[in-house]
Amino acid sequence: MKVLVTGAAGMLGDAVVRRLAADHAVVGIDLPDGDLADAGAAVRLVAAAAPDWVVHCAAWTDVDGAETRRDEAMAANAGATANLARLCRERDAGLTYISTDYVFDGSAGHGGWDEDDPRAPLNHYGLTKARGEETVAALPGPWQIVRTSWLFGDGRVNFVKTVRRLLAERETLQVVDDQAGCPTYAEDLAAVLAFLVSSRRHGIFHGTNAGSCTWHAFAQEIARRCGHDPARVLPCASDAFPRPARRPACSVLRSRRLEEAGCPPRPTWQDAARRYLELLVAGRVRHP
């Protein structure tokens, strides 16, 4: 297929372009090519790529910034997605929309969220992404909503890089232990997306690495992998670091639909963190 990947310069989009290129003719675009929230730019970009399928990774991803720049965040996430959905419908192309655990309110037990659980975002970013989901789910043609969480990989900023840097700078660091989720390596999610796009499956899927943890346990694992004593990572409550956007307490995503679809088993988040850290330490990344 001819596949258009949006957000191709971002953490996930870059991994998706590389992964899909093995089986498809891939065109990657990002903000310098045009703002997808601008209907005219979206028409021009989609017409130039003439895709059979669009994997929409582009998004406003600054969760705290979305609280103050609400209209811009809504335009970038819901508006751009509506533009792409309309264009995919017109050309009968498939659309894969990347969404987030933040469409849920965090009240699930540690078993986590099912694909069919109701959306109830706690923050504006979650609301913008939920609006995008609603537009995609109303399409008559082939569509996929793939929710992921706690992404790390070869991007400008990510939790793994930040913890590694802070451990080199300080004796101890405090990390919240009252939020649970599924850390996810962009490369492993790209493999899931390649499976879903090639199989042209329809519906909502949860795509994460296997397993779940708190941010504190994630940071301790990073410390261990970097050769530090994990006891240098101290637990704290979210109240210790008030932020503009509320975060869900439990955003663990259960990947029932992926398993039903026969997706190959996903590596654990610990294995994923190990592989990314090996590349980071060896300097074999775009964004060291």
Ligand X SMILES: NC(=O)c1ccc[n+]([C@@H]2O[C@H](COP(=O)([O-])OP(=O)(O)OC[C@H]3O[C@@H](n4cnc5c(N)ncnc54)[C@H](OP(=O)(O)O)[C@@H]3O)[C@@H](O)[C@H]2O)c1
Kindly indicate which of the ranges 134-142, 143-151, 270-278, 279-287 contains the residues binding ligand X, using the contact rule CB under 6 A: 143-151
Q: Which candidate in 97, 102, 125, 185 is catalytic?
A: 125
Instruction: Say if residue 268 is exposed, middle or buried (CB neighbours under 10 Å; 0-12, 13-18, 19+).
Output: middle
Q: How far is the CB of 231 from ligand X (least distance, A)?
A: 27
> 175 and 215 in contact (C-beta within 8 Å)?
yes
Extract the runs of DSSP E, i.e. beta strands, from the chain: 2-6, 25-29, 53-56, 94-100, 143-148, 151-152, 173-176, 180-181, 184-185, 203-206, 213-214, 233-236
Is 179 a residue that touches ligand X (CB under 6 A)? Answer: no
**Dihedrals φ, ψ of 108, to 5°?**
-65, 155
Is 149 a residue that touches ligand X (CB under 6 A)? Answer: yes
Is 51 a residue that touches ligand X (CB under 6 A)? Answer: no
Is 11 a residue that touches ligand X (CB under 6 A)? Answer: yes
Is 163 a residue that touches ligand X (CB under 6 A)? Answer: no
Is 82 a residue that touches ligand X (CB under 6 A)? Answer: no
Distance CA 181, CA 252 (A): 4
Distance CA 81, CA 257 (A): 23
102 tagged catalytic: no
Kindly indicate which of the ranges 53-61, 242-250, 257-265, 269-277 contains the residues binding ligand X, using the contact rule CB under 6 A: 53-61
What DSSP state is assigned to residue 286?
Answer: S
Is 194 a residue that touches ligand X (CB under 6 A)? Answer: no
Is 151 a residue that touches ligand X (CB under 6 A)? Answer: yes
* Helical segments of 78-153, H only: 80-91, 124-137
Exactly one of 5, 46, 54, 57 binds ligand X (CB under 6 A); that residue is 57
Contact residues: ligand X, CB under 6 A: 7, 9-13, 30-31, 35-37, 57-61, 76, 80, 98, 100, 129, 148-151, 155
Which residue numbers are catalytic?
A: 125
